[in-house]
Structure 1
């Protein structure tokens, strides 16, 4: 169980203001391309317009951090946003429109809880196998969906096919679990790695290597059972590590040991994610030079507090 999971596909950092978030991430030393937004007619024959959410990706080889904001009712877009027309047959338009509205509604709900990471998607080479395994284990999900997402390459924006599924809690609206949105994704083609512009980060980041979930202490046994069904057996004691998905689960009573000074905005909640870096000392110099507060937690780790990173702590770890 869980052998069909191969790490993190991406985490989603939900923000109120995408322009502010992009500026903050650049100050943190990440390369952030211009955002994209879907454009489609709300009804067949209508005029295409921005719809749903706008996003951009902080790319690493094989995975990414997604910055996401909801497009308001006036259709105002972040600066330099790239419209991405979605071509869909008229008979498929109502279903796609409904799905995008549902996604935007979920993101709006998550943002009411707090600004920060609410999305954790695991990578799999076999999404159909994952779907069958989850169904056999009694886990509710919305089935496998095929999508296209914009990817920046050296020759411009390319739409890359992907397939995904979202886990659903039977007591919550579709696409939600208590901690946010959990799912799996399968890239149907290899990630385009030829555009070094978006993989070369001034802070030396080389990969997304961990997502950290904080839960109330009494909820830890049930969470271990649930995530064990999703991702395979955990290791550890008080702090659980689901190595197949690169997810760490910490009880609220132990969070201060892992991230001194941090307090979860809600429970359960994704409180941090970790990126590896080539040279931690150089990363620290860049952050401090940009007036970003940092806390050292060991010889090979430091983190930027959630208060300085729009609601989620960002851990920087020396690349092995």
Structure 2
């Protein structure tokens, strides 16, 4: 039976340098949607207002990677993005997917995490038929409940305006976000693993230093900070617990490897493909594997 929360909706990299972030991910071989400003509601039932953030997205048909930039410091900030960036920029956002935002909120509360009511998000995008408004519903988890991630659950209302076919083909052959890796401080690791197992209703599976929670589309991987060097050798640790990396499934590893090497970005080989350091990808480690 389909779980209420059962896929990666999107991941998000936050920066005050959206121009630079865009350039780097174009260099890494991702096709990006046009830049779009956000309309956000601060509370359930309130009309969305134009905030100070904009994004471009690498879209894969199911999940997507959001490049999120603060572009107007003076604009309203109902989702507290500036405070998040003040802590540190980089891989900060993880949104899981649901088909029913109200039911997902109930599941989050039942799992013991504090969450907002259901919030409305809108942004105008260009389509081949003219400007259309992307609409979604989202539930945000109180960041004190999940210090390792700005966690949310999102429901598409207009998926077709987000995952437009013209943006789904990537020079690096990217097809999906196959996994997200969280580093958990040792003292908090058991609680963090248990929390996500309850949120997802998924069994806990140990695979070497990783703990894996399988979803219908994609998986969450967690590793204790004391074992992170085995998985992420030499990588920076911006916080005691944090979103560390994502796994990108591509059509042809050789094509992706050649494109990224030719762009001048360093990589290292892994057992299943190759890896680009968070230092070279605006705070998000990137594993590339075969789709």
Q: Establish whether residue 160 from structure 1 lines up as the match of residue 130 from structure 2.
A: no
Once the two structures are superposed, residues 78-102 of structure 1 have per-residue CA deviations (whole angstroms, 9 ceiling, x without a partner) of: xxxxxxxxxxxxxxxxxxxxxx523
Q: Who is 1:210 aligned against?
A: 179
Residues 269, 230 of structure 1: alpha-carbon distance in 2 compared, 3 angstrom cutoff: same
Structure 2, unpaired ranges of 5+ = 41-48
Larger radius of gyration: 1
Give the whole-Å Cα distance in 1 for the aligned partners of 2:147 and 2:74: 30
Q: Establish whether residue 235 from structure 1 lines up as the match of residue 235 from structure 2.
A: no
Residues 253, 2 of structure 1: alpha-carbon distance in 2 compared, 3 angstrom cutoff: farther
Equivalent residues in 2 for 1:286-297 (5 A)? 286-297=259-270
Q: Establish whether residue 32 from structure 1 lines up as the match of residue 6 from structure 2.
A: no
Q: Establish whether residue 52 from structure 1 lines up as the match of residue 24 from structure 2.
A: no
Q: Who is 1:91 aligned against?
A: none
Aligned-pair distance for 1:6?
2.3
Equivalent residues in 2 for 1:157-196 (5 A)? 157-169=131-143, 172=144, 177-192=146-161, 195-196=164-165
Contact kept, 8 Å, 1:306 with 1:312, in 2: the verdict is yes
Aligned-pair distance for 1:18?
0.5
RMSD: 2.5
Residues 19, 124 of structure 1: alpha-carbon distance in 2 compared, 3 angstrom cutoff: same
TM-score (norm 2): 0.87
Give the whole-Å Cα distance in 1 for the aligned partners of 2:287 and 2:156: 26
Aligned-pair distance for 1:264?
1.5
Contact kept, 8 Å, 1:154 with 1:194, in 2: the verdict is no
Give the whole-Å Cα distance in 2 for the aligned partners of 1:113 and 1:215: 17
Aligned-pair distance for 1:155?
2.7
Q: Give the count of matched residue pairs.
A: 279
Q: Who is 1:250 aligned against?
A: 223
Once the two structures are superposed, residues 218-274 of structure 1 have per-residue CA deviations (whole angstroms, 9 ceiling, x without a partner) of: 211111122122122321164211212621111112222222221312121111111
Equivalent residues in 2 for 1:134-153 (5 A)? 134-153=108-127
Give the whole-Å Cα distance in 2 for the aligned partners of 1:192 and 1:73: 27
Give the whole-Å Cα distance in 1 for the aligned partners of 2:8 and 2:112: 23
Structure 1, unpaired ranges of 5+ = 41-48, 76-99
Residues 5, 21 of structure 1: alpha-carbon distance in 2 compared, 3 angstrom cutoff: same
Give the whole-Å Cα distance in 2 for the aligned partners of 1:196 and 1:189: 14
Contact kept, 8 Å, 1:51 with 1:71, in 2: the verdict is no
Residues 207, 271 of structure 1: alpha-carbon distance in 2 compared, 3 angstrom cutoff: same
Q: Establish whether residue 112 from structure 1 lines up as the match of residue 83 from structure 2.
A: no
SS in 2 for 1:203: coil
